[in-house]
Amino acid sequence: MIQFRDTELVNERLELNSKTEHYYLGHHLTLRSCTLVIGVPASALTIARTRLIDCSIEVKKSLKHFRWDEVFVKGCRFTGTLSGNDFGRWPDFEAGGIEDCDFSGAQLDGCRFIGCDASTLRFPSWPCFTVLDPARRSRELAALPWPGQLGIVVGTFSKYPPSTAAVTFSATRLAKESGTTEHEIRAVLEQVDGVKL
């Protein structure tokens, strides 16, 4: 196991790319103006009680199903592909949070932003799209005429934590898996308030 903990690093470059090691970032770790290169799967990465401030986070391989719930992220820029990642402050974790971050250069799919102010975040543009307040608006959204099997995905919004501020999807993947097209998905989304294309 390779550990970074109990320190503050400034203007450093951390490359997490070992094929055999598990990386542990935390407890009491602060990375400030650093470049964090993630080249390992979620199963080889733990980030706990860590603060990332004004960092560049480069995801080199698709990072799937990773929870950033014990990470406070502020002023960071994300690039690469993230699928099924959760960011922000969960009700049962005090350490997490996200604000002033830029995901416009990333590909997000099924990524949730919980217990945060989504207006401080920059989301990727189409063919990614972001639905604001999906849990609170779950009934309204489920009632829309979604193409293909997309209504099943929208139906899961009611199971999200109530404090979910936003969720971002890839229309490309949803179209492929739901038996529809990006164009048909966009046609519905353009009729709905609280969606960022």
pTM, rounded to two decimals:
0.95
Exposure of 190 by Cβ count < 10 A (0-12 exposed, 13-18 middle, 19+ buried)? exposed
Query: Which amino acid is located at 108 in the chain?
Result: L
Residues with Cβ within 8 Å of 77's Cβ and at least 6 positions away in sequence, in order, are: 55, 56, 57, 101, 102, 105
Torsion of CA 81, 85, 88, 89, to 10 degrees: -170
User: For the packed helices 182-189 and 171-178, what is the interaxial angle rounded to 10 degrees?
Assistant: 110
User: Is 58 within 8 Å of 38 (Cβ atoms)?
Assistant: yes
Q: Got the DSSP string for 95-115?
A: S-EEES-EEEEEEEESEEEES
* pLDDT tens over the chain, length 197 residues: 999 999 999 999 999 999 999 999 998 999 999 999 999 999 999 999 999 999 999 999 999 999 999 999 999 999 999 999 999 998 777 779 999 999 999 999 999 999 999 999 999 999 999 999 999 999 999 999 999 999 999 999 999 999 999 999 999 999 999 999 999 999 999 999 999 99
- Closest of 56, 90, 50, 53 to residue 71, by C-alpha: 50
169 Cα distance to chain centroid? 10
